[in-house]
Amino acid sequence: MTEQVPLQRVIFILPDLSGGGAERVTLNVMRNLNRSQFQPVLFLMKREGVYWNEVPLDVEVIVALEAGERVRRHPLKLIRRLYSLILRDDIVVGALEYDAICLAALSRKLRGCQAIGWFH
């Protein structure tokens, strides 16, 4: 009898689901991850964008700020929300330049998880 290996959570960070190519590529990668090994999670900095219907149904979506809220006015709210999400064994992917990559790097500093900065 083989031992069941727990799924590795992969948390993808995006600013929002705006209609850009990076967002679409991120959703495609999430859609095609091997579900027997990985559990994708989408962390959005803000609840905005046009790609909501393209998020795979089995992907958990965590939103830090509501539409209209500004990141620079609520940075602690954003960081607290991310901190409560990440566990030590997670992989965090900053899936777009600047803010998303900085949050992935911060996740590594705060919780010791694996972090990837993804430049498109």
DSSP per-residue string spanning 87-115: -TT-EEEE-STTHHHHHHHHHHHHH--EE
pTM summary value:
0.89
Identity of the amino acid at 4: Q
pLDDT score recorded for residue 95: 87
**pLDDT in single tens digits along all 120 residues of the chain:** 666 777 899 999 999 999 888 999 999 999 999 999 999 999 999 999 999 999 999 999 999 998 888 888 998 898 899 888 887 778 999 988 888 888 888 888 777 778 888 876
